[in-house]
Amino acid sequence: MENNKIDQNVLDRAQLWLDGDYDTETKSKIREMIENSPAELIDAFYKDLEFGTGGLRGVMGAGTNRMNKYTVGAATQGLANYMKKMFADREGLSVAIAFDSRNNNTFFAGICADVLSANGIKVFVFDDIRPTPELSFAIRHLKCQAGIVITASHNPPEYNGFKAYWEDGGQLIAPHDKNVIGEVNKIKDIDQINFNRESGLVESIGEEIDKAYLENIAALSLSPEIVKKHKDLKIVYTPIHGTGVKLVPAGLKAFGFKNIYNVPEQDIADGNFPTVKSPNPEEPAALNMAINKAKEINANIVMATDPDADRVGIAVRNNKNEFVLLNGNQTATLLINYLIKKWKENGKLTGNEYIVKTIVTSEILKDIALKNGVDYFDTLTGFKFIAEVLRLNEGKKTFIGGGEESYGYLVGDFVRDKDAVISCCMIAETAAWAAEQGKTLYELLPDIYVEFGFYKERLQSIVRKGKTGAEEIAQMMVDYRKNPPAKINNSEVVVIKDYQGQIEKNLVDKTKRTINLPKSNVLQFFLADGSKISVRPSGTEPKIKFYFSVKDELKNKSEYDTLNAKLEKRLDSIISDMGL
């Protein structure tokens, strides 16, 4: 394919790398793309990797829109430059670094350590793979000013990522995220990146942090006596080739659970994730091996964590003794309901407690909190915003727990990110609490729905890859804003929330209200029948996400199956009416 069929801007950006002081292998790959793979060249160079809800994340390879030595080096140099400005009055700056089981994990972690130490910053690097939430804990424990974890969470094997954290243990948020990118953008030449490691400033960490982290987790238990009675609960756990193998079983044992069964084939840390199509606990197939193991040994519950162990998916036995998967909203409902009820029962509620959820997460969490005198906060999607609420309320209010529909939860405030190690332990304790009542986790859900209403949610994603895909997704959002639906599934749209314009419009009384959250490319439509539809382009993947929520009254547990089927049909109708 001739060069003139490739956008000149892309060619110019690629030429800068060919002319610059980049390694021979990188230049060879760029030339090959120019000659033989123009579409790949365009995707590799049409933009720079940006910090989204999950930080820097992309396909590994040569190019400005790829994860490689130079983009990671530039991001690290930008972070180092920003730290020096922000902490100019402090001596002995330090950063903690962790990495998961992805390909090139130690390579990228090493690049980060090279650049930071070359800039005179002390670096604490974990000696092996560790869960992302432990990195958050380590920042606070070691009193670092920042942290980095090399992970692409549940993305396919060709991806990796660079997730940056600030001194509170939370991911970078405004203005720090934009300011770091500003510093990165100032780097016009790779000679501005110092790759010359200062070995005396790089220290390996591991076991001591593990011990402190697990001690903090064990202290979260609200029902130690109940766990003691039900310590033989059978739990099957899989890390899906990721970091959870290091600490989830240890955490469960620290809580007092004795029967923990692993899936040996998936205990192996492998960035190719050979036993699954996707290492995403949201995908049913990712739990297949664990569920088969659970059937084999007659287990009570199945847990699966993603490669960096910040999210967990679970399977429980239904009334027919079959394993069924719970979605993120259902697990969050069980967890928040348990936490608040136990806090109340244990006399810990003072009226100054709160939970946090994201705007696309089930509204039942808000209902549970308010009925029990617990405050709640809504945030934008991304756990960094939940961490911000914790930081702003530190010393003022007490955080009980929180979560988001995408299988991420947190209990306690010594970690400032979603934490699957903590979540696995607290979910197991919730299962023990249910067993004490002669119930399974599955049987607890109808009880909650009778009390608070039957909420049912569904997520649908549309994938559009590459530059043209990004443009198509952007146009979809423009169209929804220009021509919002008046009705969806024969129910009037009564409220529209536009988080980009930060305006909430009530279409019934014609009033407007300012949304006091940061600008974000999200739209929400609230219907007269209580349904909620949220539309949001992903910040980390080439897709646009549609979050659907419907609700009805469950008068009696015996009507659960009938109402469940009715709500499923309503979801189908809404999705069909929107042409998805």
Domain spans of the chain, in order of start: 47-205, 221-437, 454-577
CB 98 within 8 A of CB 206: no
Local structure of residue 20 (DSSP, 8 states): S
Taking 80 as the threshold, does the pLDDT of residue 410 lie above it? yes
Share above pLDDT 90 across residues of the chain, in percent, rounded to a whole number: 90
More confident residue, 468 or 27: 27
Question: Could you give the CA distance from residue 397 to residue 375 in angstroms, rounded to a whole number?
Answer: 9
pTM: 0.94
Alpha helices, DSSP H, located in 20-129: 24-36, 38-45, 69-86, 105-118
Mean pLDDT of the chain: 95
Q: Do domains 221-437 and 454-577 have the same CATH topology?
A: no
* Two structure tokens written together for 502: 């930060």
Looking at the DSSP bridge assignments, the partners of residue 402 are 356, 410
Query: Which active-site residues does the annotation give?
Result: 153
Rounded percentage of the chain residues whose pLDDT exceeds 70: 98
Of 177-186, 256-265, 311-320, 521-530, which gets the smallest average pLDDT?
177-186
Q: What band does 312 get if pLDDT is binned at 50, 70 and 90?
A: very high
CB 146 within 8 A of CB 166: yes
Residue 70 has pLDDT above 70, yes or no: yes
Distance CA 493, CA 334 (A): 30
Residue, of 236 and 56, whose pLDDT is higher = 236
Give me the mean pLDDT over the 123-150 stretch.
Answer: 98
Q: Which of 144, 163, 161 is nearest to 201 (CA)?
A: 144
Tell me how far apart the alpha carbons of residues 291 and 231 are, in angstroms, rounded to a whole number.
20
Q: How many CA atoms lie within 13 A of 349 on its CB side?
A: 17
Helix (H, G, I), strand (E, B), or coil: what is residue 303?
strand
pLDDT at 478: 96
The span from the CA of 522 to the CA of 148, in Å, is 27
Decide the pairing of beta strands 503-506 and 512-514: antiparallel
Q: Note whether 311 and 405 are within 8 A (CB).
A: no
Mean pLDDT score, 118-139: 98
Res 540 pLDDT > 70: no
Work out the burial of residue 235: count CB atoms within 10 Å of its CB; fewer than 13 is exposed, 13-18 middle, 19 or more buried: buried
Pick the closest to residue 46 from 523, 469, 502, 476 (CA basis).
469
User: Locate tokens 């009390």: which residue?
Assistant: 451
Averaged over 263-289, what is the pLDDT?
97
Q: What is the pLDDT of residues 488-537, one digit of tens each?
A: 999 999 999 999 999 999 999 999 999 999 999 999 999 999 999 999 99
In the chain, count H helices and then E strands: 19, 23
Q: Position of tokens 């189908």?
A: 572
Q: For CA atoms 220, 226, 229, 231, give the dihedral sign.
A: negative
Q: Which of 376, 263, 284, 378 is nearest to 327 (CA)?
A: 284
Residue 97 has pLDDT above 70, yes or no: yes
**Which CATH number is correct for 221-437, 3.40.50.2300, 3.20.20.70, 3.90.1150.10, 3.40.120.10?**
3.40.120.10
Exposed/middle/buried for residue 309 (C-beta within 10 Å: 0-12, 13-18, 19+):
buried
pLDDT value, residue 382: 87
CATH for the stretch 47-205: 3.40.120.10
Residue 153 confidence class, pLDDT cut points 50, 70, 90: confident
Q: Distance between CA 359 and CA 145 in Å, rounded?
A: 29
Average pLDDT over residues 102-121: 98
pLDDT for the residue numbered 184: 87
What integer pLDDT is reported at residue 437 of this predicted model?
97
For residues 372-378, average pLDDT: 97
- Dig out the tokens for 24 from the structure: 């021979």
pLDDT, residue 92, reads: 95
Res 363: pLDDT: 96
DSSP state, 4? G
Pick the CATH number of 454-577 from 3.30.1490, 3.30.310, 3.30.420, 3.30.1360: 3.30.310
- Average pLDDT on 423-429 reads 98
Q: Which pLDDT does position 3 carry in this prediction?
A: 46
Would you state the pLDDT for residue 1?
38
pLDDT, average across residues 307-329 = 97
Burial label, 375 (beta-carbon count in 10 A; 0-12, 13-18, 19+): middle
CA–CA dist 61, 69 (Å, integer): 9
> Which residues have C-beta within 8 Å of that of residue 563, sequence separation ≥ 6?
454, 552, 554
Q: Quote the CA–CA distance of 131 and 306 in Å, as a whole number.
A: 10
Q: Which of the four pLDDT bands, split at 50, 70 and 90, describes residue 51? A: low
Question: Has residue 55 got a pLDDT over 70?
Answer: no
- Residue 312 token pair: 């967990």
Residue 307 has pLDDT above 60, yes or no: yes
pLDDT of residue 56: 84
- What pLDDT score was predicted for residue 456? 97
| Residue type at 287 in one-letter notation | L
